[in-house]
Structure 1
């Protein structure tokens, strides 16, 4: 299985490098399909994301692509939200079945939200540009509060599912800061994702939800995968990639939400 996990790390990182789609949207469902326990899949993927995205922070900071003020507002909401969510999972820890049910439901819903963000990305971006003047004149404090609230949402959903820091976070930032250059938008979200996934991942580690051998094998495959995928960025038309990825995410998301809702009923 070690070779299978190395290949999984390579494939996911390759797709992320080529398309920019968040790794959690692909890695966690893949680990579940490979038979990894839901809580372990989420916890391991969170630390996997923290390690892989740390190198991205260094590169973006070197090119001055990070707005640390926005990162701070996001982290102010997301990091405490992640810690509180982990504590809530700790309270439920005695009931493994309940935890797995909550994680599967959260994971499925996060996948569906990510798929919707992919499908309607251009529509939402056009809306943000059209109405940019409506909220660009907001006092900095109110814009900061809105960013803080987005951070809380991301903190909860990322901690429960390991999904959302990339696709949903970047889209939310674009809606709040439509005139922010794309490279700065991406760099800011990556900078925010590192402390969020690190805190959430360490929280899961405290709950015993990390497979350290699995984490190591995933990272072995991720390094060449990210590099090769980045070399192919833009080679495959976005109009083909986005619907294909969204369809896959919807299929996986529905397959998780339906049984979870049935169990709750």
Structure 2
């Protein structure tokens, strides 16, 4: 069954899009992450232009983050002040990312930058997560323990000015790194179409040392803020948000997430990190292969703008 996507301007198999949404929803439910780092590349791999994929996925991410954030809010597992300060940085970063997105698109370099960004980010993050997961499994098998270095790594952050108290997280730290992290995650979301939870959660735990009880819910609130804002900006400035594509992805994602959550509860945390690292690394490698292989069609037809 073919479905025409008005903004992407191509027909696609509706069952394929549903399957992609369900697969990414399954992964999101299993690992507790947004899944945008998988959704955007998969859409690009099936022929949707990188610009439309990056602009359309945030609406799917916003919908999934809203339901998750609402559940964590009811459980009082969100730090409102932390989320607000992260959101301030995230909005600035998102606006900057959308501006750079439009600039690169006007220069004709957007597709290349998106591909290179995914290659670098996913290969580095995937390799680190795979290595950390492997070490954790080996430590369990050898029944050895290692001392954590989290406290030592926090000295430079604890010495920063402009400190404030975050009551829900029971933290007293500077707002500077909090705003900076939000800015970084918002910028990535606008340029790459990712929610950034797979980066934000480890940063909040291992860099800011925020208790894990409030990390996931607070990260979901930031994802909700940045993805809604990115969707609005992309729709207004670039007119690249394909609502039909986003709606079908949402339906598939909701179905897949239910099964993924149940599967994730049956797997050990160390194995989950290892599997997630492999998954992220494989997508990064696929992007790298796409950059170096020769395309079957060496020429393309595009609209010629005035002055070109």
- The interval holding the TM-score normalised by the smaller chain is 0.7 to 0.9
253-262 vs 208-217, which deviates more? 253-262
Comparing both structures, which one devotes a greater share of its residues to strand? 2
Residue 185 of structure 1 corresponds to 215
In terms of mean alpha carbon deviation, does 168-177 or 136-145 score higher? 136-145
Does 2:131 correspond to 1:110? no
Contact 2:56 2:240 in 1 (8 A): yes
Corresponding residue to 2:97 among 82, 85, 88: 85
* Alignment partner of 2:260 out of 229, 236, 244: 229
CA RMSD of aligned residues (A): 2.8
Deviations 1:178-210 (A, max 9, x none): 2x3313111111011101111112222231222
Q: Report deviation, 1:83.
A: 0.8
Distance 1:19 1:253, change over 3 A: same
Of 224, 235, 246, the residue aligned with 1:205 is: 235
Indicate whether 1:126 and 2:138 are aligned. no
**Partners of 2:97 and 2:190 within 8 A in 1:** yes
2:273 is aligned with 1:242: yes
User: Is there any run of 5+ residues in structure 2 with no aligned partner, and where?
Assistant: 1-12, 136-146, 165-172, 295-308
The answer (yes or no) to whether the contact 2:25–2:254 under 8 Å persists in 1 is yes
Where in structure 2 are the equivalents of 1:1-265 lying within 5 Å?
Answer: 1-95=13-107, 97-119=108-130, 126-128=148-150, 131=153, 135=157, 140=163, 143-163=174-194, 165-178=196-209, 180-206=210-236, 207-257=238-288
Structure showing the higher helix proportion among its residues: 1
TM-score in terms of structure 1 length: 0.86
Please identify, of 128-137 and 155-164, the stretch whose mean Cα deviation from structure 2 is larger.
Answer: 128-137
**Do the aligned residues in 2 keep the contact of 1:114 with 1:164 (CA within 8 Å)?**
no
Distance of 1:34 and 1:157 partners within structure 2:
22
Q: Secondary structure at the match of 1:92?
A: helix
Q: 1:132 to 1:38 in 2, by over 3 A?
A: same
User: Kindly tell me: are residues 248 and 199 of structure 1, through their superposed partners in 2, closer, same or farther at Cα, counting changes over 3 Å?
Assistant: same
With structure 2 as the length reference, what TM-score do the two structures score?
0.75
